[in-house]
Amino acid sequence: MEKGGGLSLTYALSVTILTCAFFLLSFQHAAAIIPEDFKIRQVITDDQNYPTTTASAVNHQHNLLGTATEHKFKSFIQEYSKEYTTREEYIHRLGVFARNLLKAAEHQALDPTAVHGVTQFSDLTEEEFERMYMGVKVVDRATSLLGQGHAPPLEVKGLPESFDWREKGAVTEVKMQGTCGSCWAFSTTGSIEGANFIATGKLLNLSEQQLVDCDHTCDIKDKKACDSGCSGGLMTNAYKYLVEAGGIEEEDSYPYTGKRGDCKFNPDKVVVKVSNFTNIPIDEQQIAAYLVNHGPLAVGLNAVFMQTYIGGVSCPLICGKRWINHGVLLVGYGSKGFSILRLSNQPYWIIKNSWGKRWGEHGYYKLCRGHGMCGMNTMVSAVMTQTS
Ligand SMILES: *[C@@H]1O[C@H](CO)[C@@H](O)[C@H](O)[C@H]1NC(C)=O
Ligand SMILES: *[C@@H]1O[C@H](CO)[C@@H](O)[C@H](O)[C@H]1NC(C)=O
């Protein structure tokens, strides 16, 4: 392939796959996740409501019956239409819920400019959370992306103070990956939807399922890091697949099932062709310049604080930059992120997630800008489309 030389430089930087935090978080509870009248705002603000606080005490789950924690648990069950079939399951989930209240309180302490609390994930165990990291092979991305294969620097003077591709019509509705570790596919389609809108003026929903079913592209450096449907993948591998496959179908012609199936890609139904992609430098000014000049960007980040995120600008004191496990879409930035708890302003990125509209701020995450927060600057890529 003629483009090979230029492209291989770019892929060679990818050394792992994203396993998508949501997959295992939601695994057993997907059906319970989406009540229509979602409105929960249970913010953890004091300690008195916690059970006797130590983790081992939480194991004596019967102690929780009749407490304020159980009361909160009951409203959680109602808000999210949870169903537990047995009394044992109820008591077990109550114990898990109590631990997750502590975790949300920890996140709140570490991330005071955001609001953390009860989310649809609050009844999932530590083990269920941990399992989301399975399959990540190499996590030393921060350094591996430095130095080569980057796009040329852009002028950063005169960038707008705030910017939002949603206002310009370049962003489709928030989607729902469901019980499938396919965040990487949603991040990929989001960036192509944006690039295509900018090139043609038409906003199309593009097919994640084509990527889930058909893209088995492996990383050039790590042959075991292949895009593998609901078990994870990388946006840059997906771009490479699409360049080679000839393009991507629309959502309607290749709809999302949330399960890996046989590849049903039909080249006659391609609506957008992908010609190339590039990694963006880790400099957040450059990221802003590429965002404004190029379109929404595919981004990898560490999703740990997203598990309990309710709203506000997330700016954790500690968030591992090398533990990139989730693929999302950068769509804009703002300069005046009002912080509920500190009454202060905080510049932030606007990030589209794929956990449905009821997660976070109508499906979006605000992450503070200028600190390489949660590694958001280490795996950023832009895609080029080709109109035929
Ligand atoms: C994309 O799909 C969603 C959900 O089906 C729909 O509401 C929306 O109108 C579609 N957007 C476009 C641009 O077709
Ligand atoms: C693809 O992008 C890279 C930059 O990442 C560039 O070096 C290369 O020339 C591009 N290839 C084509 C065919 O445009």
pLDDT at 93 over 80: yes
Give the pLDDT confidence of 13-29 residue by residue, as tens digits.
334 678 776 533 333 33
Nearest to 379 by CA among 307, 309, 325, 332: 325
Note whether residue 35 is domain-resident: no
Note whether residue 57 is domain-resident: no
Q: What is the pLDDT of residue 380?
A: 93
The protein residue whose alpha carbon is closest to atom 9 in ligand 2 is: 6
Catalytic residue among 20, 180, 183, 218: 183
The bound ligand whose nearest atom lies closest to the alpha carbon of 4 is 2
Q: What is the mean pLDDT of the chain?
A: 80
**% of the chain surpassing 70 pLDDT:** 75
Amino acid sitting at position 200:
T
3-state secondary structure of 297: strand
Give the pLDDT confidence of 217-237 residue by residue, as tens digits.
887 766 777 888 888 888 989
Mean pLDDT of 262-291: 95
100 is catalytic: no
Give the E-state strand segments of the chain in sequence order.
114-116, 163-164, 273-279, 297-301, 309-314, 326-338, 345-352, 364-368, 380-386
The protein residue whose alpha carbon is closest to atom 10 in ligand 1 is: 205
Give the pLDDT confidence of 38-48 residue by residue, as tens digits.
222 333 333 33
pLDDT-derived band at 161 (thresholds 50, 70, 90) equals very high
| Residue 229 Ramachandran class (φ > 0 left, ψ -120 to 50 alpha, else beta) | left
CA-CA distance, 228 to 309, in Å (whole number)?
Answer: 28
Q: Which two tokens stand for residue 345?
A: 């302003």
pLDDT at 11 over 50: no
The protein residue whose alpha carbon is closest to atom 14 in ligand 2 is: 276
CA-CA distance, 13 to 8, in Å (whole number)?
Answer: 9
Nearest to 224 by CA among 213, 233, 215, 214: 233
Spell out which residues line ligand 1, taking CB within 6 angstroms: 172-173, 203, 205
Q: What is the pLDDT of residue 230?
A: 86
205 is catalytic: no
Q: What is the pLDDT of residue 70?
A: 96
How many angstroms does the Cα of residue 205 sit away from the middle of ligand 1?
6
Ligand 2 lined by 41 (C-beta under 6 Å): no
Q: Which two tokens stand for residue 297?
A: 């960007």
pTM comes to 0.82
Atom of ligand 2 nearest to the CA of 149: 5
More confident: 339 or 166: 166
- Which domain CATH number covers 219? 3.90.70.10
Give the pLDDT confidence of 95-133 residue by residue, as tens digits.
999 999 999 999 999 999 899 999 888 888 766 754 543
Note whether residue 236 is domain-resident: yes
The protein residue whose alpha carbon is closest to atom 6 in ligand 1 is: 173
Give the pLDDT confidence of 196-219 residue by residue, as tens digits.
999 999 999 999 999 999 999 887
Note whether residue 90 is domain-resident: no
Note whether residue 14 is domain-resident: no
Q: What is the pLDDT of residue 152?
A: 86
CA-CA distance, 100 to 114, in Å (whole number)?
Answer: 17
How many angstroms does the Cα of residue 379 sit away from the middle of ligand 2?
17
When divided into structural domains, the chain yields a total of 1
How many angstroms does the Cα of residue 203 sit away from the middle of ligand 1?
9
Note whether residue 22 is domain-resident: no
pLDDT-derived band at 63 (thresholds 50, 70, 90) equals confident
Note whether residue 120 is domain-resident: no
Note whether residue 16 is domain-resident: no
Q: What is the pLDDT of residue 33?
A: 34
222 touches 11 (CB < 8 A): no
326 is catalytic: yes
pLDDT-derived band at 388 (thresholds 50, 70, 90) equals low
The protein residue whose alpha carbon is closest to atom 8 in ligand 2 is: 6
pLDDT at 37 over 50: no
Question: Candidates 205, 249, 254: which one to mutate for ligand 1, based on the most atoms within 8 Å of Cβ?
Answer: 205
Q: What is the pLDDT of residue 348?
A: 95
Residues 6+ apart with CB under 8 A from 195: 294, 295, 296, 382, 383, 384, 385
Domain coverage including residue 218: 126-386
Nearest to 239 by CA among 21, 3, 18, 11: 11
Alpha carbon 211 to its chain centroid, in Å, reads: 17
pLDDT at 1 over 80: no
